[in-house]
Amino acid sequence: MPQVPSTRWCPTPEQLMILEEMYRSGVRTPNASQIQQITARLSYYGRIEGKNVFYWFQNHKDANSVCKMEAGDAEEASSTSDATLRHESMAMVDATWAVPPCCRPLRTLDLFPTKSTGLKDECSTTSKSSCSTTTNYMAHSSLHLSLPK
Amino acid sequence: MPQVPSTRWCPTPEQLMILEEMYRSGVRTPNASQIQQITARLSYYGRIEGKNVFYWFQNHKDANSVCKMEAGDAEEASSTSDATLRHESMAMVDATWAVPPCCRPLRTLDLFPTKSTGLKDECSTTSKSSCSTTTNYMAHSSLHLSLPK
DNA sequence: GGCATATGAATGAATG
DNA sequence: CATTCATTCATATGCC
């Protein structure tokens, strides 16, 4: 039971930004060397491995349409939810998508903590305040499915 | 009284029954159209959205007769599957993989035993904006690596 | 009231 | 590139 920190890669905003920009630039499937460079560069902002980059581009079909729900069906609070469509199936059912507010609060707190002293764990559950930011990206819609409205 | 609008989907027994039956019937990953139909049908019994159906099937690996949820299975296999390199790009970046500790100290030493409940990791990354991102363009190596095999 | 558990939701990782 | 698997996160609910 490894409490090992072997966590899943947590893309930081900076990393994301760069990746997205690259994607926008036309990068689709970087080669090994490309990946290496990208990884090296991104690793500056946080832990990242080559495979992360690789998979990211693999999964990053299109970050388009941060579709929003249609105003006609839900009267939820609608906290600017953007349904991130991932698969075609989802794309179609999008109509029903009305994802409320589940964004991912990036807990990028300040610098690395020096928690030797009685500092509470930095990963405290709280502090999930603003999940705004542009954390939501990625919408894997594929094909030609009519996405969102 | 679940009057709260933004609540999570609350599957009704009827919905569950239908879903499970479908699952039993062999439905594993319904397509968009499938999802739509299912959703439509289930919506009769209560509010439900396409994503709910989608996720349900996604998560419903084996919720039926799960008998291994608890028990004293404290250890894990951790077979550390070797990453079978699939593409050459990956092969090359492989070096970057398995980069264990590297430079990112993400984990704190936990002296005291913490309950596993809500074990949150801290993938916090410094959102430092030292920036100075030297617009490092991508190298157009264009090597001879043919990706996929 | 909070703590424990269950499960929906999200997405990174992997495979075909 | 599409699809599926696995892990994690967040929220709801139940039991103290």
- What is the 3 state secondary structure string of B1-23? CCCCCCCCCCCCHHHHHHHHHHH
CB contact under 8 A, A93 and B54: yes
CB contact under 8 A, B39 and A14: no
CA of A72 to C1' of D5 (A): 35
* Higher pLDDT among residues A42 and A101, named by residue: A42
Q: What is the pLDDT of residues B45-79, one digit of tens each?
A: 888 888 888 888 887 765 544 444 343 333 333 33
Cβ contacts of B107 within 8 Å, gap of 6 or more:
A3, A4, A5, B121, B122
What string of DSSP letters covers chain A? ------PPP---HHHHHHHHHHHHHT--S--HHHHHHHHHHHTTTS---HHHHHHHHHH--B-----B--TTT--S---S-B----SHHHHHHGGG----S--------SS---TTSSPPPTT-S-------TT----B---TT-----
CB contact under 8 A, B31 and A4: no
Give the Cα separation of B2 and B5 in Å (integer): 8
pLDDT tier for residue B106 given thresholds of 50, 70 and 90: very low
Q: Which of residues 10-39 of A touch B (CB under 8 A)?
A: 10, 12-14, 18, 22, 25, 27, 29-39
Q: What is the pLDDT of residues A112-144, one digit of tens each?
A: 333 333 333 333 333 333 333 333 333 333 333
Q: Nearest nucleotide to B66 by CA–C1' distance? A: C6
Q: Nearest nucleotide to B11 by CA–C1' distance? A: C8
Q: Supply the pLDDT for residue A53.
A: 94
Q: Is the pLDDT of residue B147 over 90?
A: no
Q: Does B123 touch chain A (CB under 8 A)?
A: yes
